[in-house]
Amino acid sequence: MQSKTQIESRLKDAFKSLALEEPVEKITIQQITERAGVIRTTFYNHFQDKYDLMEYIIREDIVEPIGSLIDNDMIDEAMVLIFSNLMREKELYQRLAKTSGQNSFEEIVQKCVNDLLYQVIAKKIQARIDTKSLQHIWLSPEMVSMYYSKTMSFIVMYWIELGMPYSPRELGVIYEYIISHSLQDVVDELRDDVQGVSE
């Protein structure tokens, strides 16, 4: 008898191979189960639908591997690992990124990153701050994780749409620059660059 992990791995591999052949919207549960060599009931014992399976893949392959890095304040390394994992299966994620609508790839990536960041932030706050109110109530773990997950999903989507022209390390530098500079810093630098070119 196969374990839960083995079955989920077979379903994951089946979905990935099918996603390389046709749009996610056209993939059926029957196709996934036939390719995985399991019955339809088995699929529903593990996942609600194909989008739940896609979320499982993103969580397991892309997001969960960075958990320990973020937990140990290795943010730059975590970002590079995300981009490296996406690049490793470039064609797959370029195809998945085209999934739009209610269960879009971007929406699922954002949800997965948000869940992870919230857990890490909440854990660190409890470890360092007592139960008193935060100085700025809008700087709650929910708001912070939502902001950074939206930023991350935008960077990932834009990079994929461009055809992944930058290496994971280069993209990590770009991301670090964006999140560590204010809008005013960026505008000032753009102005200085334009003035430098025109002189």
- Residue-wise pLDDT for 165-191, tens only, equals 999 999 999 888 888 888 898 888 888
Give the pair of three-digit tokens for residue 175.
């991301």
Please name each of the domains of the chain with its CATH number.
1-47 (1.10.10), 50-183 (1.10.357.10)
Residue 131 backbone dihedrals phi, psi, to 5 degrees:
-80, 5
pLDDT at site 137: 65
What digits encode the pLDDT tens for the residues 61-109?
998 898 888 888 888 898 899 999 999 999 999 999 999 888 999 999 9
CA distance 129 to 111: 26
**How many CB atoms are located within 10 Å of the residue 27 CB?**
19
Output the pLDDT for position 186.
85
> What are the residues whose beta carbons fall under 8 Å from the beta carbon of 120, sequence distance 6 or more?
67, 70, 71
Structure confidence at residue 131 as a pLDDT band (50, 70, 90): very low
DSSP state of 20: T
Q: Which of 121, 105, 138 is nearest to 19 (CA)?
A: 105
